[in-house]
Amino acid sequence: MASSSMENITQAMNNVLLDDEEGGIAIMDGDEGGMQDEFSTGNARLCLLGRFLTEGVLDFSAMQQTLAALWRPGRGVYIKEIDVNLFLLQFYHEIDIKRVIDGSPWTFNRKVLLITRLQEGVNLRCVSINSLDLWVQIHDLQPGFMSEKVNEEIGNQVGKFVSSCPSNFKGLWREYMRIRVTLDINKPLKRRMKIRKSGNEWIWITFKYENVPTFCFICGLMGHSDKFCSRIFDTPESEITRPYGTWMRAPFKRHTKMIGAK
């Protein structure tokens, strides 16, 4: 089983390398001679699979130029279109791939890139790419709740907790906690949540999302705006409500990155 899966991936990687190299881009750091060798190893460990959260058509060439310019990977990246809106991103160093994962969200023409790290032995076409890592701010949290453990529990309600911002517990009073969360793009963004400590009253905490892509104020899903929400086609206008809003976007701060959000 494992070995046949390995064959799949090796085969897939070989196809990627041999079929259509002009369809991709390789930006190397001076040493183009090393490129071929690294390709032939078919290094799934340093690959991401990506797609853009859009149903529209993308200009592949402009997209790869934009991403390469944003990422400026020290050891290069090779981007290959393997299907409509499905891309293989081959990196050549752990530092480069990690920067891209940690720097999410990335956008091209205001479309956000969803990425997932490839596991060895997985068939490329069976990988689902439905998650997006973002920084989420937890507001209205009272001092007694500001702990790593609480952050983690909250993060796992919002999505899947990844990490806490290192500066959450440093220095002076924090207005809010920042947590890195993997969000399921098929679920509406969470607006707020009720928490309490045993014996105490419930308190409401609210969430703000940093660099969040377009989301719908009607259904709370990322990837479309109200105008394109499927609900407006089956619900009378008078019954449409908008429980979500711009207040869920974290205002720009120095520590938040607006890369590619032009």
Position among 165, 203, 219, 232 found at the interface with Zn ion (CB under 5 A)? 219
- What are the backbone dihedrals phi and psi of residue 129, each rounded to the nearest 5 degrees, phi first? -125, 85
Considering only CA atoms, which of 177, 175, 132 is closest in space to residue 150? Answer: 177
Site string for Zn ion, 197-216 (x = CB under 5 A): -------------------x
User: Is 159 in contact with 182 (CB distance < 8 Å)?
Assistant: yes
Provide, rounded to whole angstroms, the least separation between the CB of residue 224 and Zn ion. Answer: 6
Binding part of the chain for Zn ion, among 163-171, 173-181, 218-226, 236-244 by CB under 5 A, reads: 218-226
DSSP string computed for the chain? -HHHHHHHHHHHHHHHHHH-GGGSEE--SS-THHHHHHHHTT-GGGEEEEEES-SS---HHHHHHHHHHHH--TT-EEEEEEETTEEEEEESSHHHHHHHHHT--EEETTEEEEEEEPPTT--GGG----EEEEEEEEES--GGG-SHHHHHHHHHHHSEEEEE-GGGGSSS--SEEEEEEEEETTSPPP-EEEE--TTSPPEEEEEEETT---B-TTT--BT--GGG-THHHHS-GGG------GGGBPPP-TTS--TT--
Closer Cβ to Zn ion, 37 or 239, answer by number: 239
Provide, rounded to whole angstroms, the least separation between the CB of residue 251 and Zn ion. Answer: 23
Binding part of the chain for Zn ion, among 12-20, 55-63, 115-123, 228-236 by CB under 5 A, reads: 228-236
Provide, rounded to whole angstroms, the least separation between the CB of residue 243 and Zn ion. Answer: 11
189 scored as a contact of Zn ion (CB under 5 A): no
| Residue 63 to residue 60: CA distance in whole angstroms | 5
Provide, rounded to whole angstroms, the least separation between the CB of residue 214 and Zn ion. Answer: 10
185 scored as a contact of Zn ion (CB under 5 A): no
Position among 229, 244, 248, 260 found at the interface with Zn ion (CB under 5 A)? 229
The site for Zn ion, by CB under 5 A, has a size of 4
Binding part of the chain for Zn ion, among 100-108, 151-159, 164-172, 227-235 by CB under 5 A, reads: 227-235
Binding part of the chain for Zn ion, among 113-121, 131-139, 168-176, 225-233 by CB under 5 A, reads: 225-233
232 scored as a contact of Zn ion (CB under 5 A): no
Position among 67, 134, 205, 218 found at the interface with Zn ion (CB under 5 A)? 218
Provide, rounded to whole angstroms, the least separation between the CB of residue 245 and Zn ion. Answer: 13
100 scored as a contact of Zn ion (CB under 5 A): no
Closer Cβ to Zn ion, 154 or 216, answer by number: 216
Both tokens of 136, joined, read 């989420």
Residues lying near Zn ion in the complex (CB under 5 A): 216, 218-219, 229
